[in-house]
Amino acid sequence: MSTLHYMRRGMVASIPMIIGGIPFGLLFGSLASSYGLSPWFAIAMSSIVFAGSAQFVALGLIALHAHIWVIVSTTFIVNLRHLLYAADMVKYVKHLPMPIRVVMGFGLVDETYAALRPMYGAGIVDDKTGHKAYLGSFLAFYVMWNTTTILGVLSGELIPGMSEWGLEFAMVATFIGIITPYLKTQPFWLCMLSAGASSILLAGLPNNLGLLVSAVIGVAVGFWADILTAKGKGKGEAR
């Protein structure tokens, strides 16, 4: 099968999340212009940094006149979850040439990980084809994110108040669309409930630390529940 075939597969698997990302990109562009930032700043951030939620956090900090190192270190913390995605993907990239790994690293966003990881898991792609599907998904997101940023900057200047429409809800709906297919066993439910509850309880912590701590709590609870259920099964069922 051709490279294009697999790239198209990666794109198709990403379509729902691309649609969910469109309002989010528009919002980013329009927020940047409502804060009086140069259009080039917003465009450069989307094309060079390419990090959805971290870009929003950075805008908020810029509006508060935060120092550059605060912006950069907060970006680091918000994006730390990608280290965990990368850790999970290591087994699928270790045989690839370095330039491909560089592009894959640059494009490792929530949505591409969410679209591609299940394809590897289900055997739809493998060591030889997975990175092609991955690059297709990345390319589709990159084009969407940058196009909507530009459109958002332009429309933000034409339609004042657009940033108050609640377009960021699209991100919430997209993330729910990523989460729900996982909820097939008890450990995943417990993981979700504990991460959600801790994120509310810890929302007061500075610099988005609550996010990081809650993520670790959720993973620990899921992992622990998984081990307990495996043990329970081993004892209860004679197989």
Partner 1 sequence: MSLLDSTLTILGMFVVTFGVRFVLFARAHKVVMPPFLEKALRFVPVSVLTAIISPMILMKDDHLHLSLLNPWLLGALAAFVIGVWRQQQLLTICVGVAVFFVTKYAFAM
Site for partner 1 in 172-211 (CB under 8 A): 172-183, 187-188, 191-192, 195-200, 203-204, 210-211
**Contact between 158 and partner 1 per CB under 8 A:** no
Segment contacting partner 1 by CB under 8 A, of 26-34, 122-130, 148-156, 171-179: 171-179
228 binds partner 1 (CB under 8 A): no
**C-alpha angle 189/191/196, rounded to 5°?**
95
CB of 76: closest distance to partner 1 in angstroms? 4
Residues 39-98 that bind partner 1 (CB under 8 A): 41, 44-45, 48-51, 53-54, 58, 62, 68-69, 71-73, 75-76, 79-91, 93-96, 98
Measured CA to CA, the distance from residue 230 to residue 239 in angstroms comes to 13
Q: Which is nearer to partner 1, 125 or 191 (CB)?
A: 191
By beta-carbon proximity to partner 1, the closer residue of 7 and 170 is 170
**Is 38 one of the binding residues for partner 1 (CB under 8 A)?**
yes
Q: At its nearest, how many Å lie between partner 1 and the CB of residue 62?
A: 7
Contact 25, 152 (CB under 8 A): yes
Q: Determine the Cα–Cα distance for residues 228 and 234; give it in Å rounded to an integer.
A: 10
Q: Is the dihedral of CA 86, 88, 92, 94 positive or negative?
A: positive
At its nearest, how many Å lie between partner 1 and the CB of residue 74? 9
CA nearest 103: which of 76, 145, 134, 125?
134
* b/e 164-184 (16+ beta carbons within 10 angstroms → b): eeebeebbeebbeebeeeeee
